[in-house]
């Protein structure tokens, strides 16, 4: 049986808590905190006593705080204007606390002087990009990452994209930190642990929604199993790192040297040919004369630069210096203007995201079906491939039956997807299916919502019930009839949605 998640929870003030999805978001944010904190320590020039764990804790409070406050506002169905006001106050509070907790106090005597320091540093022409500006950008970026997670359709592909990005950034940071003799092994392992946990829980979240019936339980057995596998992977990585750093590193270096030696032997004829070409070119071209021309050009360029410097030193016109002072004064005005404009632009972008984001938390199952709906061409290619294979292997009865079953499974998947879209459409029209009602019991509600499409609704519901209880469609004609019925219902539904938006 295929059990689709109910749509009424998407528009309900009380959202259902899906443990695997929440665990995915939590681990995903911890994974992002690792490379954000390391990026902060790399780019900033703040007080040297700040450690990675302190930065992780402070940014973590901001990240999870922005996520929880935004989600609470969604659950309570707070008006958009009030919601944006709450988030604006939250962002200002986070910015103030970041200046207090992460900024170097220096010669600031009081709290107000510390908070007013960006006003002074933004005007300092000798400090092109102040550390306070970078700090404010990091805080706004953290708030954006927290806000963007609300209502997001969590899938393994999204988590994998973030994991790849984090690996690249941590690899770059590892090379730089190697030059500064700082270790990043603990941070790397925390990132790897959170990333593997996010990938595992995201996959389980999708599978538990798509398989139907009893989902994968969120219990101690599954949690401990996943944690043990992740810890085993971490242990193997630590073992390999230590092996590479000790005697194993010498073995690896010896192997690399051997490979380079073999490649040098194999490429030696080619290297000999290249050397002969260079010798021939050296005999044919007067290289000494060429280098003499370069030396003369460098000497002339140096003389020209010295002459320009002497002319600048001889400038004594007060009006010219006054003109230069005006230019520097204008630049001194533009610098803080652009820096503050960048901060305000970032804050405005966050509030626009809040305004335009769709806060309805659709389930992972319907997300998969929606993705399938957007990939009709892929399904058509698969169907054509199956038909061609069916024609080629029609002589073998067993092979024909297997191919026919595969086509029927694709047809059943299309019917489930159509019913999922129907439930989504009814929910958007303020008629969600209650959890206590079966599809057959909900059919009268659908007929009341679409009185001109009773036959189509009965056809779609009956086909879904057959698929739900294990039956497969007989042929492509049956599926095409269901799809035609859904197109008529969908067209009417889109017209009704436009009418609702017009009345609003």
Q: What pLDDT band is residue 298 in, cutting at 50, 70 and 90? A: confident
The mean pLDDT of 104-132, rounded to a whole number, is 55
Of 473, 462, 411, 412, nearest to 438 by C-alpha is 462
Write the DSSP string, 312-362: HHT---HHHHHHHHHHHHHHHHHHHHHHHHHHHHHHHHHHHHHHH------
**The pLDDT of residue 399:** 42
Kindly report, residue by residue over 174-192, the tens digit of the pLDDT: 766 654 445 557 788 888 8
Residue-wise DSSP of 153-202: ---HHHHHHHHHHHHHHHHHHHHHHHHTT---HHHHHHHHHHHHHHHHHH
User: What pLDDT is stored for residue 373 in this prediction?
Assistant: 46
Any idea which residue has 């709450």 for tokens? 86
Residues of the chain by 3-state class (helix, strand, coil), percent to 5: 80, 0, 20
Region 134-158 average pLDDT: 80
Mean pLDDT on 388-402:
49
- Residue 213's pLDDT band (boundaries 50, 70, 90)? very low
Tell me the pLDDT band of 86, cut-offs 50, 70 and 90: confident
In angstroms, the Cα distances linking 441 to 106, 423, 433, 435, 438 are 70, 13, 10, 11, 5
Residue 9 has pLDDT above 50, yes or no: no
Q: What is the mean pLDDT of the chain?
A: 71
Higher pLDDT, 194 or 326: 194
Cβ count within 10 A of residue 408? 19
Query: Domain coordinates of the chain in residue numbers?
Result: 20-245, 249-313, 364-503
Which of 172-181, 204-213, 451-460 reaches the highest mean pLDDT? 451-460
Round to whole Å and give the CA distance between 216 and 205.
8
pTM of the model: 0.52
pLDDT of residue 375: 43
Min mean pLDDT across 1-15, 160-174, 247-261, 355-369 is at: 1-15
Rounded CA-CA distance 160/448 in Å is 44
pLDDT score at 259: 81
Helix-helix angle 439-449:397-428, to 10 degrees: 50
Using pLDDT thresholds of 50, 70 and 90, give the confidence band for residue 374: very low
| Residue 401 CB-density burial (10 A; 0-12 exposed, 13-18 middle, 19+ buried) | exposed
Give pLDDT, residue 332.
Answer: 58
Per the model's pLDDT, the better-predicted residue between 371 and 154 turns out to be 154
Q: How far apart are CA 351 and CA 88, in angstroms?
A: 7
pLDDT reported for residue 362 = 42
409 pLDDT band (50/70/90 cuts)?
confident
Per-residue pLDDT tens digits for 40-75: 887 775 445 677 888 889 899 999 998 888 888 877
10 Å CB burial of residue 163 (0-12, 13-18, 19+) is buried
* pLDDT reported for residue 383: 55
Nearest to 100 by CA among 110, 91, 90, 87: 110
* Better-predicted residue by pLDDT, 316 or 162: 162
| pLDDT tens for each residue of 133-144 | 777 788 888 888
pLDDT reading at 319 higher than 60:
no
435 pLDDT tier (thresholds 50, 70, 90): confident
CA 129 to chain centre: 27
Residue 423: pLDDT over 70: yes
Share of the chain above pLDDT 90, in %: 1
């Amino acid at each position: 049986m295929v059990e689709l998640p109910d749509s009424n929870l998407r528009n309900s003030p009380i959202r259902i808590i899906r443990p695997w999805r929440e665990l995915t978001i939590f681990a995903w944010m911890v994974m992002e905190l690792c490379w954000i904190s390391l990026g902060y320590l790399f780019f900033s020039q703040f007080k040297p006593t700040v450690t990675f764990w302190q930065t992780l804790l402070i940014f973590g409070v901001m990240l999870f705080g922005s996520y929880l406050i935004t989600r609470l506002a969604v659950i309570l169905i707070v008006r958009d204007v009030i919601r944006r006001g709450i988030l604006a106050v939250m962002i200002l509070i986070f910015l103030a606390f970041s200046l207090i907790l992460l900024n170097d106090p220096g010669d600031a005597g009081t709290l107000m002087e510390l908070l007013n320091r960006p006003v002074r540093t933004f005007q300092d022409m000798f400090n092109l990009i102040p550390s306070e500006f970078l700090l404010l950008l990091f805080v706004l970026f953290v708030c954006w990452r927290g806000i963007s997670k609300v209502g997001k359709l969590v899938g393994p592909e999204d988590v994998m994209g973030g994991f790849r990005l984090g690996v690249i950034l941590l690899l770059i940071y590892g090379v730089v930190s190697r030059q500064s003799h700082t270790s990043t092994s603990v941070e790397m392992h925390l990132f790897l642990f959170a990333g593997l946990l996010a990938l595992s829980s995201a996959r389980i979240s999708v599978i538990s929604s798509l398989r139907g019936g009893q989902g994968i339980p969120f219990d101690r057995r599954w949690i401990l199993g996943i944690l043990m596998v992740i810890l085993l992977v971490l242990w193997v990585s630590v073992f390999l790192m230590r092996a590479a750093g000790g005697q194993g590193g010498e073995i690896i270096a010896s192997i690399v040297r051997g490979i380079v030696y073999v490649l040098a032997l194999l490429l030696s004829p080619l290297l000999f040919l290249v050397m002969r070409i260079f010798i021939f070119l050296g005999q044919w071209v007067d290289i000494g004369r060429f280098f003499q021309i370069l030396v003369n050009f460098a000497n002339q360029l140096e003389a020209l630069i010295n002459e320009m410097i002497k002319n600048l030193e001889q400038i004594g016109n007060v009006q010219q210096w006054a003109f230069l002072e005006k230019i520097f004064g204008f630049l001194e005005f533009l610098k803080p203007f652009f820096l503050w404009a960048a901060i305000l632009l970032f804050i405005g972008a966050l509030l626009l995201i809040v305004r335009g984001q769709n806060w309805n938390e659709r389930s992972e199952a319907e997300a998969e079906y929606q993705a399938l709906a957007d990939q009709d061409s892929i399904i058509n290619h698969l169907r054509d491939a199956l038909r061609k294979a069916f024609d080629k292997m029609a002589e073998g009865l067993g092979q024909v039956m297997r191919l026919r079953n595969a086509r029927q499974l694709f047809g059943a998947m299309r019917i489930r997807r159509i019913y999922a879209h129907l439930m989504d459409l009814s929910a958007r029209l303020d008629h969600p299916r209650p959890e206590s009602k079966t599809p057959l019991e909900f059919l009268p509600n659908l007929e009341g919502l679409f009185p001109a499409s009773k036959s189509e609704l009965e056809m779609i519901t009956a086909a879904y019930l057959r698929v739900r209880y294990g039956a497969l469609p007989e042929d492509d004609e049956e599926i095409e009839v269901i799809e035609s019925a859904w197109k008529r219902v969908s067209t009417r539904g889109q017209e009704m949605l436009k009418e609702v938006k017009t009345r609003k």
